[in-house]
Each structure stands twice: as structure tokens, then as C-alpha cells.
Amino acid sequence: MDWGQEAQDRLTRIAECSLAGPGVTRFPFTAEHRAARAMIEGWMDRAGLASRLDAAGTLIGRAGSPDAPAFLIGSHQDSVRGGGQYDGIMGVALACLAIEALGAEGTPLPCAVEVLAFADEEGVRFPTALLGPRALAGTVDPEVFALEDRDGITLGAALEAFGGAPQDVPALARDPNRVLGYLEMHIEQGPALERADQPLGIVTGICGIERNAVRFAGQTGHAGTVPMEGRRDALVAAADFITTIHEAARSHPGLRATIGSISVFPDVVNAIPSEARLTLEIRHEDDRRRADFHAEAREIGAAIAKARGTGFEIEQTYAQPAVPCDPGLVSALERAAPGAPRLPSGATHDASAMADLCPVAMLFVRCRDGISHRPEEFASSADMGAAIAAASRFLAGLPVRR
């Protein structure tokens, strides 16, 4: 069996479980999700897994004694609007195929294993995400079930119509002593593996994220009458800040700094901007280094404001700590995928929420041109075959637990 080609075929077929339009659009608890769920149940059956839907909408396939501690492996089924056919769902397909491959060669699993197909990682339909892993970790905020999508449907109502049970979600919290660990396979969503000419990468940790609201306050005036000398142009100060932050971030290995939004007041063609508001997002695998860059950004903004005669404010609006991958699981992955380089994950994954429950690890698969969240997203059959082989070796090498 060419397991990589089988993965490609399965992902091509399940990509049809999508709204019409370019790429894949599959939101949680929809008709498209229901069709995908039926297909994944077939994958689980072929792998010898007994499947069930839990109260949070996670499809779970289990092999082994129902009373034994289990190792968990999985990813998510949903997509962004107009996304690709690999992000998330590939990890579910590869997990099922790794177990199926072990069965085909007669290699027994050393412990109970569960494949988890989470319903909502992207957070596109509802203004929340990671419901499935948070439910297992016992970190779900009950208030999320009242959140609405664009059509006014609450998350709770959508989940219930899909076969879940919002009122039973708190009871899904697992005992950490009964969970051996969690592995997630995912496309890299970046160019590092392609540049290194490597099919697989072993994730060292998931970067911490912070978001900041930045404001420069100047003074407006008529564009034709106020001389250039002495202007207190908030947008010019913001432009200085954008350029300086970009260059400063390049001097810090592993750091990502992004200014993704900017608004100007009064935002008219013939007036000097009196106010510029922008966002600054900072990511790093080391929370201390992320905090250090925040302090540096504050100093940069203050210096620019002084030079340009404007006010400056920066306020952190969101923070998510970094999640290190378990050293023991990382070493086990290195034995299963010899030669695979280590690298951080700049994006958040289900593993970040699962880390509140158990040790986590991630295996990245090379994607062409580093493209993700677009129809052009692509992982080769050969690379996915390498991931299936590595995952099979990893699972076979787990400590024996009956």
C-alpha cells in the first residue's frame, strides 16, 4: 500500500465536503462538517477504531481497552473560508493511516490510542476556538455557548443540532493520569522545511502571542496651509514606528512582529492626521524574549513620538503564553523521524490547548512554498507517506500500557 498516495486520495475526496467556491470552506457543525464526519468515521473503521461523538462535537476513534490510559493523536476538521485541503484535516487522515499501517503489518499498539477529530480550531464561524481540546482539558468557559455566528445561531444551539450536548461538556474533562500524551501532525504553514529540503520537522514549542493597541496622537490642520516644518503628523509617526519595528524584529532570531491594522483620524484627503491607531502583534517561542521586545517597542514608540511631537500609547490587549513541547516526546519523534530538524510553531494549534491536560508534541509536514489558508496549499504524497511512517514508528515505540 502506498500510504502517502492513500492520504492524498482521502484528502482530495474530503475536500469536497465544502461550501461552493474556491478552496475548502468547512465550518463547524454544518452540513459540510456532517459530511466530513461521516467520511472520517469510515477512516476510523478501516483503522480498526471504535468511533463516537463526544458532547463537544469531537469525533473520537479508540483502539485498545476502554479502561486503559490512552495516548491521543489528532487535529481539526474545520477550515478557514477558501482555505486548503491539508490544514488540520491532514493530521486526522495521517493519524488514522498510521494506525491502519501498523495493523496491516501486524504490529500491535503498545497502549490504548485515540484519534481525535476536533470540530473547531479556526474560530471562523463563532468568535471562539479550540472547544474540543479545551473540553478535554477542562478549560472551557461555559459562556462560549451563548456566542452567535453571523446568522444569530448560538454555538450551543449549533452543537446540539450536530449531536453534541453543551450541558455535558464540563464532564468531558479527562483525568491527566489517564492520558499518556498528545501528538498532532500538521503542515508547517511556512517555508523552513522547504528551504532545508526536509519532508518533516519536529516542533520544539508553540510560540506565545501578544497583541497590542498602539496610538499616536498629533494635531490636525489644513493640508494646504500648515507648513511642513513643525507639523505634528500622527500618521508620519506611525509610519516611522512601523518601519523601525520591522527592522528591529529582524535582529531577534525566532521573533515575529506584525502590524496588521491601522486607522487614521480624521481620514480625509486635505487634513493632517491627528490620530493614528494600529495593532502590534508579537510572537516568540520564549515568553521572556517576547516581553523584552514589547519593552523595546515601547521605547521605540516613545522616542519617535518625542521626535515627531506626538503622544504615544501602547496597551496589551491579548496574551497567550508559549507552549513548549515535551522533551521526552520530542526525543521519541527524533528516533521515529531521524534527521528531521527542530523548529518552532509560529501558529496556534489544538496542541496548545491540549498542553493543559498532558504532554504534547507536534510533527510538521513540508508544504509547497509555505502556503496555507489558501486553495494553493499543498503537501506531497511522498512527504505525507514519510509522516505516516514516522507516526507508525512513534506509536509502536510508546511504553507498553495495558
Please indicate, yes or no, whether residues 98 and 226 belong to a single structural domain of this protein: no
What per-residue confidence (pLDDT) applies to 334? 98
Task: Indicate the Cα dihedral angle 185, 186, 192, 198, nearest 10°.
Answer: 50
Using CA atoms, how far residue 372 sits from 81, 351, 377, in Å, is 12, 18, 5
Query: Is residue 189 a contact partner of residue 87, using CB atoms and an 8 Å limit?
Result: yes
Q: Domain check: are 60 and 186 in the same one?
A: yes
Residue 135, in any domain of the structure: yes
> Any idea what the CATH number is for the domain that residue 358 is in?
3.40.630.10
Q: What is the pLDDT of residue 401?
A: 76
Q: Are the C-beta atoms of 182 and 291 separated by less than 8 Å?
A: no
249 with 276, same domain? yes
Quick one: what percent of the chain has pLDDT higher than 90? 98
Furthest-apart CA pair in the chain: how many Å?
Answer: 83
pLDDT number for residue 43: 98
Same domain, 345 and 241: no
Domain extent at residue 71: 3-206+322-396
Strand partners, 265: 275
The answer for residues whose C-beta is within 8 angstroms of residue 298's C-beta and 6 or more apart is 314
Within 10 A of 370 (CB to CB), how many other CB atoms are there?
16
Q: What is the mean pLDDT of residues 216-232?
A: 97
What is the pLDDT averaged over residues 173-180?
97
User: Are 197 and 293 in a shared domain?
Assistant: no
The verdict on residue 27 lying in a domain is: yes
CATH of the domain at 263: 3.30.70.360
Of 276, 300, 320, the residue that ends a domain is 320
pLDDT tens track for 310-324: 999 999 999 999 999
Nearest to 333 by CA among 366, 364, 363, 367: 363
401 in a structural domain: no
Q: Is 247 domain-assigned?
A: yes
Give pLDDT tens digits for 289-339.
999 999 999 999 999 999 999 999 999 999 999 999 999 999 999 999 999
pLDDT digits (tens, 9 = 90+) for 63-113: 999 989 999 999 999 999 999 999 999 999 999 999 999 999 999 999 999
pLDDT for 400: 78
Taking the C-alpha atoms of residue 34 and residue 32, their distance in angstroms, rounded to an integer, is 5
- Lowest-pLDDT choice from 48-52, 170-174, 262-266, 398-402: 398-402
C-alpha cell recorded at residue 146: 451563548
Structural domain contains residue 259: yes
Co-location of 175 and 81 in the same domain? yes
Residues 38 and 156 in one domain: yes
Whether 141 and 219 share a structural domain? no
- Scored b (16 or more CB within 10 A) or e, 33-69 reads beebbebbbebbeebebebebbbbbbbbbbbbeeeeb
Preceding omega of 108 cis (within 30 degrees of 0): no
Cα–Cα separations (whole angstroms), residue 351 to 188, 247, 324: 14, 31, 10
Q: What is the mean pLDDT of the chain?
A: 97
- 173 within domain boundaries: yes
Rounded distance between C-alpha atoms, residue 4 and residue 380, angstroms: 8
| Among 320, 343, 378, residue at a domain's last position | 320
Pair (28, 165) in one structural domain: yes
> 41 lies in a domain?
yes
Angle at 147 between CA 74 and CA 53, to 5 degrees: 35
Tell me, yes or no, whether 402 lies in a domain: no
Confidence of residue 399 (pLDDT cuts 50, 70, 90): confident
Same domain, 272 and 364: no
Let me know whether 250 and 281 are in one domain.
Answer: yes
Task: Count structural domains, the chain.
Answer: 2
Give the model's pLDDT for residue 402: 65
> How far is 38 from 41, CA to CA, in rounded Å?
5
Last residue of a domain, one of 320, 346, 370: 320
Model pLDDT, residue 137: 98
Same domain, yes or no: 186 and 231: no
